[in-house]
Amino acid sequence: MKWKLTIRYLISILSIVFIVSIVNTVILIALLLSQHNEDPEDIIHDTGENFTRAFYHNLSIEDGEPVVSEEGKDALARFGAWLQILDENGNVISDEYAPDSAATHYTPVELVHKYKYMDNDFNTYFIGEYEGYSYIVGVPDSKQQRTIIMADPQQVFTYISQFLGAIVIVDLIIAVIVGFLFSTVLTKPVSRIIERISELKERKFQPKKMKRPGVFKRVFANLNDVSETLQAHENERQKLEQMRNEWISNVSHDIKTPLASIRGYAELLRNDEISPEERLEYAEVIERQSLYMKELLDDFNLTMRLRNQDMSLNLQETRVEGFVRKIIIDLLNDPQFQTHDIDFNSSAPELTWEIDQHLMKRALLNFILNALIHNDEDVKVTVEVTENSIIIRDNGRGIRKEEQTQIFDRYYRGTNTTSRGTGLGLAISRDIIQAHGGKVEMKSEVGKGTMFKIRMK
C-alpha cells in the first residue's frame, strides 16, 4: 500500500512538472512570435531608430536641395542628436549640430560600418532616406547600443529545442528526487493511518503513538481517541454480555424452580385422595409461582422497551405528595409489609410533576421494595418529598463501594442479598425516571444504609 501511494504521488508530481514545462515553452514561443510580428514602433517608443525613420517629416526640398525645418531642429535639440544630409555620392551637403570631427564624405562601406558600430567619440549612428538623399542622425553617448548577431535560424532552432528539452529533463529529474523524498514523508503516515483503520476494523483498539506524524498529528490523535472510545464500548459490551449471560443463567434457574413446583403440585392435584384444603393450598402455590414467572417476563419486556425507547408515556400533571403517600399506604396495607417500619415526610405539598403515574409508581415501588426486601426485617425506610425531589433512604446494610457503579446495570444482583430477584428492578426504575427527563442519585455506606434521590428537570 505504501509503495502504491508513493508511485501515484510521484506520477502526479511528474505530470504537473511536464505540463508546466510544456505550457511555459508554448508561452515563450508565443511571446517570441508576437514580438517578431509586432511593428517596432508599437513596441519601443522614442528610440533612435524610430526618431530617424520619422525625421523625414521635418525635411523639405528648396531650390533643389533638402532643408531642415525649424520643428526638425527643435526635435534634434530635444533628442540630443545631430544631422548630416548626404547626396547620392556620399558627400555631406548640409548638417545641423554636427561636431567638427564628423566626416564630410562617406563611402557605402563606411556607412555600413557607422550603422553597425559606435565610433571613437561614442556616437551611435542611424540612417534614413528622403527624396533620393540620405541623412545620418548621430546620437552622442546614447544609452541605446546596437549589437549585431549572426546566426543560422535552423541551428538556433536546434539549440533552443535542445535547451528546452534539457530543461524538461532536468525538471523531471529534480521532481522525481524531491517528489520521492516528500512522498515518502507524506505517504508513510497515510499508510499508517490506513493500517490503524484496518486494526480498528479487526477490533484492535490499543492506542499507538506515531513517530513523526507531521501534518497528520491531529489525525493520529483522533484515531487514538476513537480507539479508546471503542475499547471502552467493547469493555462495556463484554461486561454487559457477561452479566446478561449470568442473568439468563440465574433466570433459567429461577424459572426452573417455579416450573418444578407448578408441575409437582399439578401432579398432586390429580390425586383423588387429597382433601379440599390440600387442593386449595396446592392451587395457591401454583398461582403464586405463575405470578412470579409473569413478573419475571414483564420485567424483561419492560426493560427491553425502555432500553430501545419504545415506551410511550401517558403524562399527567400530578401532585407529588399525594401520589407518594398513596403508594406508601397501599404498600402498608399489603399483609407482607404491614409490620415494616416505613415513614413518610413532605415539605413541599404544592410540588407537581408531569409523569406517567403507572410507570412512576413502578419505579418508586422498586426503590422502596429494594430497601425492604434486601435488608433485615427491622430496617427503617423513610420516604421524603422535598421542594425538587423524592428521597428514599434506609438504615440497612448499605452497598459496598465497588458495587455502587453496577447497581443500576441490567441483570446485576448485589452480593449482599439472598433474596430472589430478576436483577432488573433498579435498572427499570432508573430507565423510567430518565424517560421522564429526570435523574437518580445514589449514596450508600456499608452498615449505615442507602439513599436514592429522584429529581426532575
**3-state secondary structure at position 124:** strand
On whether the pTM is more than 0.75, the answer is no
Supply 184's cell numbers: 515518502
Mean pLDDT for the chain overall: 80
Mean pLDDT (whole number) for 220-245: 80
Q: Range with the lowest mean pLDDT among 53-57, 109-113, 211-215, 364-368? A: 211-215
How far is it, in rounded angstroms, from Cα 315 to Cα 216? 51
% of the chain exceeding 90 in pLDDT: 21
If pLDDT is split at 50, 70 and 90, which confidence band does 218 have? confident
Quick one: pLDDT at residue 451? Answer: 93
Pick the range with the lowest mean pLDDT from 77-91, 204-218, 222-236: 204-218
| pLDDT surpasses 90 at 272 | no
Mean pLDDT of 62-79: 90
Q: Which range has the worst mean pLDDT, 83-87, 186-190, 270-274?
A: 186-190
The pLDDT score that the predictor gives to residue 440 is: 92
Question: Which residues lie below 8 Å from residue 48, measured CB to CB, with a gap of 6+?
Answer: 79, 81, 124, 126, 137, 139, 142, 144
Q: What is the pLDDT of residues 396-411, one digit of tens each?
A: 888 888 888 777 765 5
- What local confidence, expressed as pLDDT, does residue 353 receive? 94
Instruction: Enter the DSSP assignment of 212.
Output: S
The proportion of the chain whose per-residue pLDDT surpasses 70, expressed as a percent, equals 82
Task: Work out the average pLDDT over 319-323.
Answer: 94
8 Å CB contact between 142 and 48: yes
pLDDT category of residue 354 using cuts at 50, 70 and 90: very high
